[in-house]
């Protein structure tokens, strides 16, 4: 039994902002299933900022996309044909063979996950998956959030940020402050996601707005942005403050090296710690996270947003919109 899989490939390494010319769509005829393989109909795929780094030909924590080959990334779908006893037809599976409508590979590449009542499958690409885990690990393992501390989160209306704000509160933070780039997002932070204070970083210098929002200083900074946000945090930190560096979206599309914060000396005088992380090194925390997040979701203690773009054909636009900050919550592409 053969089938045709529509797939998105990278054909040129973008310089600065990617354009449609850097990609192509191909139709790949899939061979009959080999022993142990499954064929999966992808229902949702993830677009994430880290993918921009993979479009460059540089050594990083994930290997670069190969020119002329189909890109990869988080996806969730349902087994539609199976030559594996472990994953019968109908099984919902989470995997990394995104950027295509039909994925086919050895069963070892797919992980069966339960369908939770009332929770869309796309949640596995966000709050219940790597996105939620990233927020959880950043706050608890990297920054060591303690009860009663003040937390600042940049890119707070994004998928990781909205999760992080709620986790911070549930884990005992006394004050949670967020920044975002539109008035609509800023309103959502305090009205929906339980932030105590939020500001639009385009309204005034971040240094000033953060100082106003955190008159008692901050203890933990969850950094999704870098640049002027990190600089502002270094000024606002109390002694012993800790930053979890998760993203530096301001530099992803820059073709020049961007100068770092101008107040690095505060790291010494205030005894600060900056620690970067990529979630792939912390997957051992998934069981603890997933049990806790599962309870929070089922008890209605955590809410989440998604921006759903329809159609694999629109996946490049979805990715570009994500880089521009057009999403609220996790950005996903609905494939079928």
d(CA 320, CA 331): 11
Q: By CB under 8 A, which span of 66-74, 203-211, 244-252, 298-306 interacts with a copy of itself? A: 244-252
Q: Which residues lie across from 276 on neighbouring strands?
A: 245
What DSSP letter does each residue of 166-199 carry, written as one string? Answer: HHHHHTT-SEEEEEESSHHHHHHHHHTS--SEEE
The correct pick among 16, 205, 271, 311 for binding a copy of itself (CB under 8 A) is 271
Does 246 bind a copy of itself (CB under 8 A)? Our answer is yes
Does 20 bind a copy of itself (CB under 8 A)? Our answer is no
Give the DSSP H/E element, type plus range, for residue 218.
Answer: strand 218-223
Q: Quick one: 286 or 296, whose CB is closer to a copy of itself? A: 286
Report the half-sphere exposure of 210 (CA within 13 A, side-chain side). Answer: 27
Q: Quick one: 39 or 229, whose CB is closer to a copy of itself? A: 229
Does 268 bind a copy of itself (CB under 8 A)? Our answer is yes
Q: By CB under 8 A, which span of 151-159, 243-251, 292-300, 316-324 interacts with a copy of itself? A: 243-251
Tell me which residues in 200-229 interact with a copy of itself (CB under 8 A). Answer: 226
Q: Does residue 201 contact residue 181 with C-beta atoms inside 8 Å?
A: yes
Minimum CB separation of residue 51 from a copy of itself in Å reads 14
For the chain, the first-to-last Cα distance in angstroms comes to: 21
Does 36 bind a copy of itself (CB under 8 A)? Our answer is no
Question: Under DSSP, is residue 1 helix (H, G, I), strand (E, B) or coil?
Answer: coil
- Chain residues binding a copy of itself by CB under 8 A are 53, 60-61, 226, 230-231, 239, 245-248, 251, 257-278, 281
């Amino acid at each position: 039994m053969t089938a045709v899989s529509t797939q998105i490939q990278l054909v040129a390494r973008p310089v600065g902002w990617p354009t449609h010319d850097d990609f192509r769509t191909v139709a790949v005829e899939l061979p009959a299933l080999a022993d142990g393989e499954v064929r999966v109909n992808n229902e949702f795929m993830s677009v994430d900022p880290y993918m921009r780094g993979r479009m460059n030909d540089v050594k990083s924590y994930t290997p670069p996309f190969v020119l002329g080959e189909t890109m990869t990334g988080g996806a969730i779908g349902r087994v539609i044909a199976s030559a594996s006893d472990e994953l019968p037809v109908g099984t919902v599976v989470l995997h990394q063979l995104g950027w295509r409508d039909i994925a086919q590979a050895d069963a070892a590449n797919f992980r069966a996950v339960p369908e939770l009542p009332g929770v869309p499958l796309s949640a596995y690409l966000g709050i219940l998956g790597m996105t939620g885990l990233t927020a959880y690990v950043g706050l608890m393992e990297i920054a060591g959030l303690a009860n009663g501390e003040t937390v600042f989160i940049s890119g707070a209306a994004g998928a990781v940020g909205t999760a992080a704000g709620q986790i911070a509160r549930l884990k005992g933070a006394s004050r949670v402050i967020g920044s975002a780039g539109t008035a609509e997002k800023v309103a959502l932070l305090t009205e929906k996601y339980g932030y105590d204070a939020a500001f639009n970083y385009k309204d005034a210098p971040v240094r000033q707005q953060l100082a106003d929002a955190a008159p008692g200083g901050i203890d933990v900074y969850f950094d999704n942005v870098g640049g002027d946000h990190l600089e502002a945090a270094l000024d606002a930190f109390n002694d012993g403050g800790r930053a979890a560096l998760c993203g530096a979206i301001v530099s992803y599309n820059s073709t020049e090296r961007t100068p770092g914060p101008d107040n690095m000396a505060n790291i010494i005088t205030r005894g600060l710690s900056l620690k970067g992380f990529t979630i792939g090194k912390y997957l051992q925390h998934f069981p603890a996270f997933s049990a806790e997040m599962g309870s929070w979701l089922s008890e209605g203690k955590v809410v989440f947003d998604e921006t759903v773009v329809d159609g694999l054909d629109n996946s490049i636009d979805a990715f570009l919109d994500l880089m521009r900050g057009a999403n609220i919550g996790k950005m996903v592409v609905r494939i079928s």
